[in-house]
Structure 1
């Protein structure tokens, strides 16, 4: 068997594992109140309990039991109380957050007004769909940075691509999963990134939005991994404390999910709602990050 065959076999196995983890996480989110057992989750994933435990921990960084502990409303409320000023602090010290787990080191570059008007003219967007523990994701990247990351509903892959194309109508789209795979790996922690010398370089984002949207998205980048804030917190952080509705709209228009962590914004009451890719996925992302941050 040559090296190409080996790589293809490994890629197929990884994709199968991601789908199994996605099914288990979806089951956890839907049934957390009944506290599903390790055996229950292993059966959903189609594995032995021993194999499932090892694989889940490998791909998510925390055990299934630990993941389950963070799928509660009480956790969200406690984190809101602890982190009510986290954005103000991050702005004051000029950091994106104290947790090294967050950081991917994402830098945001906004388009100029002329580039915005050109609708992506002259840009080549390389795109690919990648399996993740939270479901398939579509990634789009350019020479200047990542411009798109969204989750893909398995029955509507063409719809996700059409949505990206509608945001960048004048750009040239090229399918190139090899170019986008490193972005997916960084976004979902298959490769850890950090500030240590010699570590992975910062991921750059190329953002196309209004001035207000860019300010909101930059504020979201300052929310540490494992933390949550309210829409009011974000509005205060950008100096417009009464603009909660507009902030909510900008959060919902985020074109680069996970890397720009719009899932870390929840209602002041602690209720987790209004995620364009579904509340269960938002709850799963938060539990994953909170569990990893607690492990740190």
Structure 2
């Protein structure tokens, strides 16, 4: 496995990104160890919040959410998935599988020994983050689910089908413009550039290329069985679960109903529909902060 590492100077002076990098080297049985980047802000004794990003973004997506939660005294941890942000990037598409992503993040989570977590997950942050909940339910005190799912071979929306087709066919993957197109507002040129920063050229984008094809939307996809097993755990998860999907996301529209129906912790919770596109973190960060902080404040 060949591994690429984005030069540090690509992350200098990014708009709205004052956060110091933290790194953890994780075991990778199929190749060299991988360096995983994460943000860790706020008081060490604050209620810990885990922010999980998806495709093709990185922790930068949460920059305003991080600031809002820290202002409320919360500890905020935001990792970059392998292949994204400041984390290492295996150079071949074949290096990326759903189960490897889950294993990489599981090693990171247990190495840091994180517990008492409130998870906020969106896009692939949910596909991986909810698998972490299923694997380590004792480490999670609550979940906010937004614009994501945990599919197990039961089909796809027309919005996801269009994204899958585009992602596999476009010759040059315009990462910053993809995020801009998935937000309801127009990002500034500096913000678009920050999403492009992790990828000096197309060779760094193999993870971003592969992610859409890994979503297990058909019975023939890998990881269907693992997700079905994860749902068995989630269907017994009684700690608070709040859905906060947005009102203008064609990819995951209506997906909140499944979590409300299947997860016992969702019963009686103040579920909300927020204003925004697929990348609602860019459209309504203050509302996201309020949802997360409210869940924490209501807990005994």
| Alignment TM class, shorter chain as reference | under 0.3
- Higher helix fraction (1 or 2): 1
Q: TM-score, normalised by structure 2?
A: 0.23
Q: TM-score, normalised by structure 1?
A: 0.23
